[in-house]
Structure 1
Amino acid sequence: MVDRRIKWLIYTVLVGLIPIVSRFFIWLVSTSSTMPLFNPSDFVAFGLVLHISNINEIEHLESFEQNWKTAQNGISLTFIAFYGVLFALTVLSETVPGIINIDTIKYAVMLLCMVSFFLSYSVYHRVSMVTRAGA
């Protein structure tokens, strides 16, 4: 049986990284220097994929610690709200140039994605350990 963390890495992390990796490849072969290498909206998509995956994984567990499930879902929903605000700020910065410091948003989203990655890994690690012990 394949470890849940391996499936998480392949099905969640790699799929979530598609916008970032795609932009990198486009940037790599592009002759125009106007396209940025990193865009906050790509990282927002990655963070959303991680947290939506957490919620989905946790909700499908039977007889699991209810308090832990509720706390993890609440954390994921909070992060989803933060990503929503940061995405709205990214759209606003594109609509009205100069009103938002896009570099600040970019670094905030990148930092948030790193935290999301480790939170998501911890969820999948715990679920993997509990389901392995129960099997």
Structure 2
Amino acid sequence: MENRKVKWLIYTVLVGLIPIASRVLVWGVTQPGTISILAASDFIAFGLILHISNINEIEHLGDGEKTWKTIQNGTSILFIALYSVLFALTMLSEGVPGFVDSAVIKICVVVLAVVSFLISFSVFHRISNIQKSEAIQ
């Protein structure tokens, strides 16, 4: 694995997984029923970290990839908006129990987080390839 992908994996993915890992650790050491093993807000934080990282990395590319950069930035902005709406719904579900189906929100957020991870991986893979080809030239 290239150095850039290792840095992405450590600095972005592992840092983004801290809320999820912390919750699993706390869940494992507390009495059953104290907290839920999965929370939508933890996956929302993970997805937001991935997409903000995408936008930041894409901004440092040259102008040779304008169309691809625009598409990726737009995709990340769309996902950030989706995560924001889902976060608002999780807050609503806490304030007005029964108003929002929390289980459905949790499933949506987990699926979005997996998709966000795949998108982020593809972005960093492409950036690595672009920078390799620029170094060769």
* TM-score bracket for the superposition, by shorter chain length: over 0.9
Identity among equivalent pairs (%): 57
CA contact (8 A) 1:51 1:76 kept: yes
Normalised TM-score (structure 2):
0.95
Cα-Cα RMSD: 0.9
CA contact (8 A) 1:5 1:124 kept: yes
Q: Matched residue pairs, number?
A: 134
Normalised TM-score (structure 1):
0.96
Residue 75 (structure 1) aligns with: 75
SS of the equivalent of 2:63 reads coil
Counterparts of 1:100 and 1:126, CA distance in 2:
38
Residue 62 (structure 1) aligns with: 62
Alpha-carbon shift at residue 64 of structure 1 (Å): 3.3
1:11-66 per-position Cα deviation (integer Å, ceiling 9, x unaligned):
00000000000000000001241310000000000000000000000001123310
Counterparts of 1:91 and 1:37, CA distance in 2:
18
1:95 aligns to 2:95 (yes or no): yes
Counterparts of 2:61 and 2:19, CA distance in 1:
29
Counterparts of 1:64 and 1:31, CA distance in 2:
55
Mark the runs of 5 or more structure 2 residues left unpaired by the alignment.
none
Mark the runs of 5 or more structure 1 residues left unpaired by the alignment.
none
4+ residue runs over 3 A deviation: none
Counterparts of 1:64 and 1:43, CA distance in 2:
33
Question: Which amino acid letter does the alignment assign opposite residue 52 of structure 1?
Answer: I
